[in-house]
């Protein structure tokens, strides 16, 4: 076999092995990232407070699994609902907690200085069954999570 045929054969074999690998690559990288981002929809009263806190950056809040909002599913006393914010180290710069159906939705804001880290715990007031939103400012932009808290009085729900 002459050297040209051997080189040609090696090229065809290597190209044939590369085709299955190349078919796995998302060729339109911009659209591939856009499909994985799920935008978190927040109520209008919370959006106004977000705009005051974060400015133009508040127009796009992406749902994330890098931070977690731990709160009880059912709170017997809405005056003192324990809430814990957990997440990846050094990911969150600041965070704000909002309760949708409270007269003033912004319940608290954490600003994490260099050297401080999550988890952070507090107790918030939830006036009635409502969604609690955690909006965090990161280096990439605003991210958020939502958790529903049902407030009960005695044995019935409100």
Higher per-residue confidence, 22 vs 33: 22
Name the average pLDDT for the chain.
Answer: 83
Task: Collapse the DSSP code of 95 into the 3-class scheme (helix H, G, I; strand E, B; otherwise coil) and give the result.
Answer: strand
Higher per-residue confidence, 52 vs 28: 52
Ranges of each domain in the chain = 39-157
Q: How is the chain split among helix, strand and coil, in percent rounded to 5?
A: 30, 35, 35
Contact 72, 126 (CB under 8 A): no
Please count the residues of the chain. 158
CA angle 128, 129, 132 (to 5 degrees): 105
List pLDDT tens digits, range 98-152.
999 999 999 999 988 877 778 899 999 998 999 999 999 988 899 999 999 999 8
Homologous superfamily (CATH) for 39-157:
SoxY domain (2.60.40.2470)
* Helix runs in the chain, H state only: 3-22, 29-36, 44-54
Give the whole-angstrom CA distance, residue 135 versus residue 110. Answer: 10
The predicted model scores a pTM of 0.73
CA of 70: how far to CAs of 48, 122, 132, in Å?
Answer: 25, 11, 10
């Amino acid at each position: 076999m002459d050297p040209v045929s051997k080189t040609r054969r090696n090229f065809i074999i290597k190209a044939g092995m590369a085709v299955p690998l190349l078919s796995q690559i998302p060729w339109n990288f911009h659209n591939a990232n856009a499909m994985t981002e799920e935008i978190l929809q927040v109520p209008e009263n919370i959006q106004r407070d977000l705009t005051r806190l974060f400015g133009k950056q508040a127009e796009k809040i992406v749902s994330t699994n890098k931070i977690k909002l731990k709160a009880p599913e059912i709170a017997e006393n809405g005056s003192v609902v324990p809430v814990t914010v957990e997440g990846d180290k050094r990911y969150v710069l600041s965070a704000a907690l909002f309760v949708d159906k409270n007269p003033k939705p912004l319940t608290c804001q954490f600003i994490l200085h260099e050297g401080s880290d999550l988890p952070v715990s507090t107790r918030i007031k939830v006036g009635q069954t409502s969604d609690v939103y955690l909006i965090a400012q990161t280096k990439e932009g605003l991210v958020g999570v939502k958790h529903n808290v049902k407030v009960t009085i005695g044995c019935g729900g409100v």
